[in-house]
Amino acid sequence: MSANLSSDLPYTDTKPRGSADFYFAINATFRFLIAQLGREGWIRYLEELGLGYFAPVNRQWGAGGLTAVARYWRAFFAAEPGAVVDVVEFPDRVELRVTECPAIQHLRASGREIVREYCQHCYYLGAARAQTAGMTMRLAGGNGQCCHTYALSSAGLAPQDLNVIREAHA
Amino acid sequence: MIGCYDFCGHYEWTFDWLERAGGHALVREYWNEAINHDSQRHARDLIRREGFEGMAKYWGHTLAEESPELGFSITEAPDVFRIDMHDCPSKGFLLRNGLESYRDYCDHCIGWIGPMMQETGFVIDHEHNHRGQCWWELRVAGSKGGHSAVGDLAGEKDVRRRTDWSSLQTPIDGYVKATDPDAKVKPESNREGATTP
């Protein structure tokens, strides 16, 4: 990852990319939260994470609009090992076209049981973050390949259909 | 998407969220169930199967991956496995980015390693200074005696030799032949006279 990309992330490390084994912990955290607090508790966790921990990013998006959204996600995926993602900009939206989800790929390659709701976390987290920046977020696909759309409200996206988010599996 | 690049940031945030949602008991359960029994089950299986050699394999790999600048040292002896952490990649990430939601991030290590050691038949002597430095000595459960004197096992790499090891502003926390994250003690070095670099 170049220094230029790194500067688009709110929190930076000395390493260019993260350790993929941390996906084990993210997957395990989801399993734990769903088991302990139920699906509603897990969704509440994701939404509060989006509003709290990611607040600096949301402020960047609010101030910088879709350009800031695109810059953030390019930097984000450059730091995720194994990600194959195209970030495509349109006048009223940004699409993240994920050909290889780094998390699903690593969990699958490592023989881990993937929480079946795993892909939904991108929607609940992303929608909460987008909303605070005055945008909307939609997700389609999953289980390793998907498309995230961050859009201005003027784009008039249809409401999220959770049925278009696929379950994840090993 | 939640990423692995800034994992330590949202991991630390999660401890605080869990404590608010379900108290300290839920945080402890998270470290044991989600991290020890699920995420890091490969470590537990390795150490249960191979003992000290398994520890060397696990921490040799994981610390090299997380800390490629090798801000740590591993010392192996017949009856003890020791780690000296001079530049914790995890706590260092939090310090550099000004992230502190939970009251003591460093507790998470013994939070999952403690139960893992209890299950695999080892006990822990450990101290951390909340500034990215710590040491660990792992021995077979039932071992007698204290931990090693400064430099005896790790020589010059002993983290306690650092001039900035102890500070009254961020007291050292310790554990003695422990596996419970709540069995924290305040070591001698915290008392009056400790150096403030």
Closest C-alpha to B112, from B34, B53, B188, B190 = B34
* C-alpha span between B51 and B38 (Å, rounded): 19
What's the pLDDT at B194?
A: 40
Chains A, B: CB pairs < 8 Å = 112
A52 and B13 in contact (C-beta within 8 Å)? yes
* C-alpha span between B120 and B113 (Å, rounded): 10
The reply to whether B34 touches chain A by the CB within 8 Å rule is yes
What is the distance in angstroms between the Cα of B51 and the nearest Cα belonging to chain A?
Answer: 22
pLDDT in tens, B149-194: 999 999 999 999 999 998 877 889 999 999 999 999 977 655 443 4
* C-alpha span between A130 and A8 (Å, rounded): 17
Number of neighbouring beta carbons within 10 Å of residue A137: 26
Nearest CA in chain A to B31: A29
* C-alpha span between B132 and B84 (Å, rounded): 11
DSSP β-bridge partners for residue A94: A89, A150
A17 and A81 in contact (C-beta within 8 Å)? yes
Query: Residue B28 is encoded by which pair of tokens?
Result: 């402890």
Confidence class for position A104, pLDDT limits 50, 70, 90: very high
The reply to whether A22 touches chain B by the CB within 8 Å rule is yes
A43 SS3 class: helix
Confidence class for position B196, pLDDT limits 50, 70, 90: very low
Which residues fall within 8 angstroms of residue B65, CB to CB, at 6 or more apart? A19, A21
The reply to whether A147 touches chain B by the CB within 8 Å rule is no
Kindly indicate whether the ipTM for this predicted assembly is greater than 0.90, answering yes or no. Answer: yes
Inform me whether the pLDDT recorded for A61 exceeds 80.
yes
pLDDT in tens, A137-160: 999 999 999 999 999 999 999 999
B31 and B111 in contact (C-beta within 8 Å)? yes
8 Å CB contact of B7 and A24: no
Partners of residue A11 in chain B, C-beta under 8 Å: 6, 9, 93, 97, 99
Query: Residue B1 is encoded by which pair of tokens?
Result: 């998407």
Nearest CA in chain A to B12: A53
* C-alpha span between A93 and A157 (Å, rounded): 10
Q: B124 — phi, psi (to 5°)?
A: -125, 130
The reply to whether B95 touches chain A by the CB within 8 Å rule is no
SS3 content of chain A, % helix, strand, coil (to 5): 50, 20, 30
Output the average pLDDT for chain A.
95
The reply to whether A36 touches chain B by the CB within 8 Å rule is yes
Nearest CA in chain A to B68: A15
B 71-90 residues with CB below 8 A of A? 89
User: What average pLDDT does this structure show over B93-117?
Assistant: 97
Partners of residue A7 in chain B, C-beta under 8 Å: none
* C-alpha span between B135 and B109 (Å, rounded): 12
The reply to whether B16 touches chain A by the CB within 8 Å rule is no
